[in-house]
Structure 1
Amino acid sequence: MNTRLVNTAAGVLAAAMQQGKALPANLAIALDSAQLLQSPETAAETARLRGELAKALEQTAAARVHVTELEENLRAVNAGWSVSRARVAELEQQLAVKDRPADEDPICYALTPKADAITRRIAPTQALHAEAGESA
């Protein structure tokens, strides 16, 4: 006989009777609620599973805290990216104003007097080279 289990069962039955439960079915329900009708193996397995559940709940709480921290970091990174993207757009706009392509800049096509004089000297020579290339 397991004295500890007998005393525990007696305590559960006494508490059920004090609550006005005198029917055998009510007393059996009280014993089952106290998990005294389980085999020792089942009770041990239940206790082990409850321990694992408590550990899993702790890990879940820790993971939630970590997820919250990661979400805060992500918001900070996104804010930084927004600032950087705005700055890049600003710099691209400044660059577009300063560095217009040559076909949009009329100054590129205007010859200075010095360049015009050189062109007059080189043009006949280029024409001769072009004719020599055609006849060869």
Structure 2
Amino acid sequence: MNTRLVNSASGVITAAQAQNRTAAGIALALESAQMLMTPETAAEQERIRTERDRYRTAWRMSRTRALSAGGAADRYAARAREGQEALQNMLFATIASQIARKAATDEAAELRARVANLEAKLAEYEQPADTAPSGNAASETTSPALKWPADWDDVLDTAIHTWGGEWDTRRVQRLYLARNGRGLLRSHARGFLSRRARQGLMTLHDRPGARFYTLNSPKGGA
């Protein structure tokens, strides 16, 4: 005898009698308590219940993994967007750098061409007086009189008194080119310096391989 089942059935019957149920009501109560089914049916029901619980647990675990995977996917998507934005910013910076480099290269080439042009012009005016010019260019000894700018004498005198040092024709030519944007014949530069020497303002120093003038100290000076 299964004491547990007997006691359970006795409890169900007692509860049904307390509710004044008929015999049919008592039988229905036993059926509701699953005490009228065969052992095979009870075992099958228990197997199904166990399998249901197992699948329910598996479903809950699968749902948890899905939620976790979804969160990870969102995080990876956010990182991918950040990486894409960083890549775009890097690309824009690279393009801007290339544009700036090209602009600097073009500017350097233009300045190089200007320097070469000015050096070529300056070389023409640095030609020694006893050197025959090429083509149909006139020599310095036969060059026409220079049309001096109105303030040129004052500009050069101020430069000589301010900077001092050794003054030769090349230095005068450079100053004239910087001041007026065009070249000066060497003979004219030499004429300006020699004229100041004759006036007693400058002294000629004629050495082997070097010919220059210096400013005389004022009388009574140290």
TM value normalised by structure 1: 0.64
CA distance in 1, matches of 2:63, 2:75: 19
CA distance in 1, matches of 2:26, 2:85: 74
CA distance in 2, matches of 1:47, 1:89: 62
CA distance in 2, matches of 1:75, 1:32: 53
Q: Which residue does the alignment assign to 1:95? A: 94
Structure 1, residues 48-94: CA drift from partner, whole Å, max 9, x if none? Answer: 11111111111122222212221221121111111101101111212
Q: Which residue does the alignment assign to 1:14? A: 14
Q: Which residue does the alignment assign to 2:63? A: 64
Q: Percent identity?
A: 30
Structure 1, residues 74-115: CA drift from partner, whole Å, max 9, x if none? Answer: 121111111101101111212232335xxx9794xx7875xx
What root-mean-square deviation, in Å, do the aligned CA atoms of Structure 1 and Structure 2 show? 2.7
Which protein has the bigger strand share? 2
Q: 1:12 corresponds to which letter in structure 2? A: V
- How many residue pairs get aligned? The number is 107
Q: 2:61 corresponds to which letter in structure 1? A: A
Point out the structure with max Rg over C-alpha. 2
Structure 1, residues 8-52: CA drift from partner, whole Å, max 9, x if none? Answer: 32221112222x141233222211111112111111000011111
Q: Which residue does the alignment assign to 2:79? A: 80
Note the residue ranges of structure 1 that are not aligned, 5 or more in a row: 114-136
CA distance in 1, matches of 2:41, 2:74: 49
Relative contact order (C-alpha < 8 Å, sep 6+): which is higher? 2
CA distance in 1, matches of 2:84, 2:15: 71
Q: 1:73 corresponds to which letter in structure 2? A: A
Contact 1:12/1:30 (CA < 8 Å) preserved in 2? Answer: yes
CA distance in 1, matches of 2:23, 2:43: 26
TM value normalised by structure 2: 0.42
Which protein has the bigger helix share? 1
Note the residue ranges of structure 2 that are not aligned, 5 or more in a row: 114-222
CA distance in 2, matches of 1:26, 1:90: 81
Provide the secondary structure at the position in 2 that maps to 1:35: coil
Q: Which residue does the alignment assign to 2:170? A: none
Q: Which residue does the alignment assign to 2:28? A: 29
